[in-house]
Amino acid sequence: MGGTALALEVADLSAGYGPVRALRHVSLDVPEGAVVTVLGGNGAGKSTLLRAVSRTLSFHGGTVTSGTVTFGGRALGGLAPDRVVAAGVSQVPEGRQVFARMTVEDNLRAGALGARGERGARGDRATKAAALKRVHELFPVLADRAHQRAGLLSGGEQQMLAVGRALMASPKLLLLDEPSLGLAPLMAARIADTIREINAQGTAVLLVEQNAALALRLASRAYVLEVGEVTLSGPAAELAASDEVRRRYLGVVDEDAAADAAGAATAHPVLSRWEDAR
């Protein structure tokens, strides 16, 4: 990456579930302090990629078959998931997955279990207190509802709690799996603003999203996964301007092709009548 320090480096990574290959020789980098997004449709391998990085793939019946994942120059392969968290990588899984019967406060405490402590127990307490203050500043509603069961929160509030829980471990890299999934546009925009703020505070982000427009606005660099392979990569602004990305992921129709189609419909009376009847 041209001399830029890397937080995360994935090199030639392949993974699968039994005979099914979900990732094929995937390589990507996340520079320190950057937001990088991975785009792709259902089944592209996006969630598998995040699980491989966080070492939680085995919980879903998957295995890494080749390749390496390093974070801050340290190999993550072979580490237990809690040691990955201790190394500075936290994941927010798809679908929020908060502990519904536990309070908001207890959910956040659970996230702090993997925090990287400093100078013994006293340092641990200081680190956790600072993390909780940060979470409450980002999400004031979580302070207001500290003693409420997480399952009673709205979908947007549960997503805030899932992100806040991951931040309680004071990560250097946050893995976000479909944070806007199932949220109303206004709430998705609020989550996007929070991701910007988290990043501005110095946390790198690897963002998996089907909402390509939102993801490309947030990220500095983007990768496109299709059937487990990286098919496009580059600066997010360049991918956002790419005709292929605009057509396949942003819902933008090629204007020349649209004009040609309109002309063909006008010239074809049967097609024109069918279009008029729709």
Q: Express each pLDDT in 59-103 by its tens digit.
A: 999 999 999 999 999 999 989 999 999 999 999 988 778 999 999
| Whether the predicted pLDDT of 269 surpasses 70 | no
Kindly give, in sequence order, each residue whose CB lies less than 8 Å from that of residue 268, ignoring residues fewer than 6 positions away. none
Percent of the chain clearing pLDDT 70 (strictly above) = 85
Q: Give, in degrees to the nearest 5, the angle at Cα 57 between 41 and 50.
A: 45
Q: Who wins on pLDDT, 270 or 125?
A: 125
Give the strand order in the sheet containing 173-177.
Answer: 89-92, 173-177, 204-209, 35-39, 221-226, 229-235
Q: Who wins on pLDDT, 97 or 269?
A: 97
How many other β-carbons are positioned within 10 Å of the β-carbon of residue 113?
Answer: 12
| Cα 25 from Cα 245, distance rounded (Å) | 22
Residue 3 has what pLDDT?
Answer: 54
Q: What is the mean pLDDT of residues 234-257?
A: 80
Kindly give, in sequence order, each residue whose CB lies less than 8 Å from that of residue 117, ignoring residues fewer than 6 positions away. 123, 124, 127
Residue 115 has what pLDDT?
Answer: 64
| Whether the predicted pLDDT of 264 surpasses 60 | no
Tens of pLDDT, residues 207-232:
998 889 999 999 999 999 999 999 99
Mean of all residue pLDDT scores within the chain: 87
